[in-house]
Structure 1
Amino acid sequence: MRYKILEKVSLFKGFFKFEGFTVQHDTFKGGSLTINRELLERGDAVAILLYDKHYDEVLLIEQFRIAPAVRQDNAWMIEVVAGMLAEGEDKVECAIRESIEEAGYAPSNVQYLGKTYASPGGTSECLYMYLGFVDKDKPVAEGGGLDEEHEDIRSFWVSREEAVKMAQDGRINSSVPMLTVMLAFGVNGVIS
């Protein structure tokens, strides 16, 4: 299957970029289709679940998010540490930097879990997920986010089992944190 980008236009440039595309692609029935699509360009990101194996606990964060707020849903979302990759930045170094900024911990061992597209029908953002091992008794910073990024982040520890339950019962209701917990610790499927 092939595709060709026929046209790309800038629709808006602010904190994020919004671009329009005209694309021609092969169809499953044979032939081709020409479509117009808009895309939010926001760069790639990392997410890291911090884990203390001595206590068998994970660190989760909570912060205000505009998307659920405008839907009149709970605007304070439970998540894992995450952040945007700077251009040319190493993904693991970004995960460690974000861990220090948001949670106050510097993981000593970081394991890759996988990658996912946030919402491939509307944004190019690709997220790289990691598990980071820390000692909860040895924070290296205060955490809570950066003032210059207007972050207000609360971090808290829960048991590994509780984190999995939170992903299953919807208390963690953002896809990347949910997937990160599932990839790190596994979840029993509906069909076993």
Structure 2
Amino acid sequence: MWGVLFVVPSFVWATGSTFGAQSTVSPSLVKLVRDGVPWFLTVLVVTGLLKLFGALVGIGLTRPRGARISRLMVFCGGGAAVLLTWHGGLFVLHGVLVEAGAVSVAQDLAGLTGWYLYLWGPWFIVGGLAFAGATARYVRPRADRRKLRLYGAVGALGALVLSVVSTATGIG
């Protein structure tokens, strides 16, 4: 359910609507939507499709599958758990640092700190924990759980490396 709800904003914003974004998302991103910048609208559609894939993985983790599909589900579930929790954790950490006065932000972004600290960060963390729980629950009763745990760990490590690299380069 979390994954399906997570899809909605991307597709709504990809239509050019800024519903729910004007006070909760960076003004520069809202401007890209409002101006109908094609490459950014494409990013929103692709992001929505990736979120939809994530929702399907979440649903796939609710029932036993064949060996290949199980490995893919656990790999993706482990990756999603780390990616979402890490991303949300960065939002919360940054928000705490801004609120504590240890870090400053541009004046036009100051109003967004609370949204990232209290809404977006926790939302990502809840999603990450949901994927972690679903993946662990999926693996637990399986006879090949040792092998599946390896796939989950590789997915998690890959997501962590991707996240750190994208954060370090300023992409994410």
TM-score between the two structures when normalised by the length of structure 2: 0.25
Structure number having the greater strand percentage: 1
More relative contact order, 1 or 2 (CA 8 Å, 6+ apart) = 2
Structure number having the greater helix percentage: 2
